[in-house]
Structure 1
Amino acid sequence: MISKIGQVMVYVRDQDAAVAFWKEKMGFVVLQDVENDGMRWIEIAPREDAETSIVLHDKNLLEQMDTGLSLETPSLLFYANNFEQLRNELAEKGVTVGDIVEMPTGWTFNFADAEDNYFAVREMD
């Protein structure tokens, strides 16, 4: 099952401006700034040892990818052990689940709640 909320994903038009805001105005630190296969994500947190972080994603790129996620509000990324089992159990319970896909950050799938809010689950290492 889900073991923890790992990240809050925030979709921004200008990642560099967003990083500047969080660092300069809010005092956050950059944990990672990664580019892989044309996709850049920047992980920030209030401190280096924070349990949960914010990942700033490029909204423009994700719109082109047509992921099915609502890019208007932040979304939650859950980490899970028994990743495929969790997806299958959710599907058996009638939850709308997406396909398992490989992203630059690892294997993931989406699921929707009763109001069609989508959330992501990533396989825990």
Structure 2
Amino acid sequence: MISHISQIGVYVSDQDEALRFYTEKLGFEVRELQEGSGFKWIEVAPPGAQTTISLATKDFPVGEKSKVGRYTDIAFETEDIQAMYETYRERGVRFTKEPELQPYGKWFAAFLDQDGNEFFVFQPER
């Protein structure tokens, strides 16, 4: 039986630039960083998270340039969306949607990474 989601991929144009964005602006941890023969494998994750995000380029076997700068279908959760929004905004993260309480009872916001990949953040209603 499957126990959990191990990793998800996000396509980026420059892995080094993406690594700086995810660690410096979002505060993620580096979980894996391997280089060799013109190939680099990077996995990052929020502190304590089980699932990692692999920062892939169009040169990966299943990648293509058109996957960079897209809606990712990835949603994060936070305990305090307003504090997260203020912190990330001060760090230069671009938001496409400011925090707003949704009719279904969760707070919602959306932001872009350095390549324009879009992510959602939810906070359960308090």
TM-score (norm. length: structure 1): 0.47
**Larger RCO of the pair (alpha carbons < 8 Å, separation 6+):** 1
